[in-house]
Amino acid sequence: MACSRSVQLLEGKFVHGYIIRNRIQPDIFINSSLMDLYFKCGKVESAENIFKLIPKTTPFSWNVMISGYVTEGKLFEALNLFSEIRQSSVEQDAITFASVLAACSQLAALEKGREVHNLIVEINLGNNEVVMGDLLEMYAKCGAVGEAFGVFKYFPERDLNVKPDRVTFLAILSACSHAGLVDDGLYHFNEMINVHGIAARFEHYSCLTALLGRAGRLHEAYEILQRNPEIRDDVQLLSTLFSACCLHRNLDLGVEIAEKLIDKDPDDSSQTAKRNHKGIRNFSRVKRNLHFTYDEEAGIFS
């Protein structure tokens, strides 16, 4: 409906009034277009009034209402309406679940999202790339990194219409880090940048540095930092890598990073800096004596 696209409320009301005055019996598409118009114009009550009066035998009008509620930020209303359609004889489709998952994402309603996930599997929508993309986003935004990674891993088609964002990839990187999946983490990091055109931010580099550090791929992590002027001297990232050098007893790289940390902020009195400086002194002593022991509990050389 042209009025919906241009969001011209007065024109839409004129059309609606014309239908009523001339006793035209609108079909489901006209009614749904009017509801969509009113939602886009912020007239939620007008959309609700139409919905109350029309037959509800197909998911079309239900989807317009649920989607409209989500767009207007009326997320609980969207979930309540979803409960109503579940109790009716009307079948839900991919559009229904996409809107409901969007509501769950914005509310961070993880348990409700899991319930919706079960329904998606139950009605065999697990091969729908749009629904699975929204499901992944829901888990990622709710902080359920393991479940987000599980959904991502079993996408039916990764190269179709699914468009993950920075939050999605951060969840995937975190999941890879916790699971020790280094190569998978690197793959998805590069995929984020090269395939989806999403620029990596500090939190992505932090996750990748921790992932590579835990795996002992220290020089690889260091090279990634050094290739990026915006983060190459970041104290937090360097400190993470320095700790990994301690863990894996990489003396030479540890000393190089330690010197950078001292040069970066020699007067920093924070606890992080104090721990770093203690580790740096230990590294220096090791380098002089060429003999060391490692205190695993403290995470430093002595």
In a domain, 27, yes or no: no
The percentage of the chain sitting over the pLDDT mark of 90, rounded to a whole number, equals 42
**Is pLDDT of 7 > 70?**
no
**Is pLDDT of 252 > 80?**
yes
Per-residue pLDDT averaged across 227-241, rounded?
A: 91
In a domain, 189, yes or no: no
- Domain range spanning residue 249? 201-302
Residue 164 pLDDT: 72
Give the pLDDT confidence of 168-205 residue by residue, as tens digits: 788 788 878 877 889 988 999 999 999 889 999 999 99
Give the pLDDT confidence of 75-128 residue by residue, as tens digits: 999 999 999 999 999 999 999 999 999 999 999 999 999 999 999 999 999 888
Site of tokens 């919905």: 51
In a domain, 243, yes or no: yes
In a domain, 288, yes or no: yes
In a domain, 129, yes or no: no
Give the pLDDT confidence of 125-175 residue by residue, as tens digits: 988 878 888 898 888 888 787 788 788 777 654 544 556 778 778 878 887
In a domain, 113, yes or no: no
**Is pLDDT of 292 > 50?**
no
What is the domain-level CATH number for residue 301? Answer: 1.25.40
Number of domains the chain contains? 1
**Is pLDDT of 289 > 60?**
no
pTM of the model: 0.60
In a domain, 148, yes or no: no
In a domain, 279, yes or no: yes
